[in-house]
Structure 1
Amino acid sequence: MPKRILQGTVVSDKSDKTIVVSVERRFAHPMMRKTVRRSKKYKAHDESNQFKTGDQVSIQECAPISKDKRWTVVTE
């Protein structure tokens, strides 16, 4: 089964080898039929500490690295 890949913006890079990525998704509200935006934050592994706040990144699912980290940054 392929691993999920999400795209988002780095909102924090204060931790060592970890970044926090905010991923926004859009969907139609089931009753109002209006487009709704929801965002969620994911902690991702950044081995080389190369990404900074404001960068656009892609993250990919992986095996758990720590209590909260289950994503790695896909370098392109």
Structure 2
Amino acid sequence: MPRRILQGVVVSNKADKTVSVQVTRRVMHPLYKKFIRRSKKYHAHDGENACKIGDVVRIRECRPISKTKCWEVVTDEAAAGAQNAAG
């Protein structure tokens, strides 16, 4: 099964080797048929502490690294290769 890849904005990088990424998506309201924004924060592993607040990053599902961290920040080359392989 392929790993999910999401795109979001870094909102916190205070922890060591961890960033908080806010992912925003648009969903249609079931009754009013209007698009509304839903957002969720994910903890992602950033081994080099390279991400800064405000960066747009891609995160990929991975094995559990800690209690709340099961995503990792992927570089542009790795994300492009995964997207091409998925189709």
TM-score normalised by length of structure 1: 0.99
Alpha-carbon distance in structure 1 between the residues aligned to 2:74 and 2:29: 31
- After superposition, residues 49-60 of structure 1 pair within 5 angstroms as 49-60=49-60
- For the aligned residues, what is the CA RMSD? 0.4
1:21 CA displacement: 0.0
Extract structure 1 runs of 4+ deviating beyond 3 A. Answer: none
1:69 CA displacement: 0.2
Match of 1:68 in 2: 68
In structure 2, the gaps of 5 or more residues are 77-87
1:45 CA displacement: 0.0
Q: Within the alignment, does 1:16 sit opposite 2:32 as a pair?
A: no
Alpha-carbon distance in structure 2 between the residues aligned to 1:29 and 1:38: 11
2:74 maps to a residue whose letter is V
* Aligned-pair identity (%): 62
Alpha-carbon distance in structure 2 between the residues aligned to 1:34 and 1:23: 20
- Give the structure with the higher percent helix: 2
1:16 CA displacement: 0.2
Higher normalized contact order (CA 8 Å, seq sep 6+, divided by chain length): 1
Match of 1:36 in 2: 36
Give deviations 1:47-69, integer Å, cap 9, x for gaps: 00000000000000000000000
In structure 1, the gaps of 5 or more residues are none
TM-score normalised by length of structure 2: 0.86
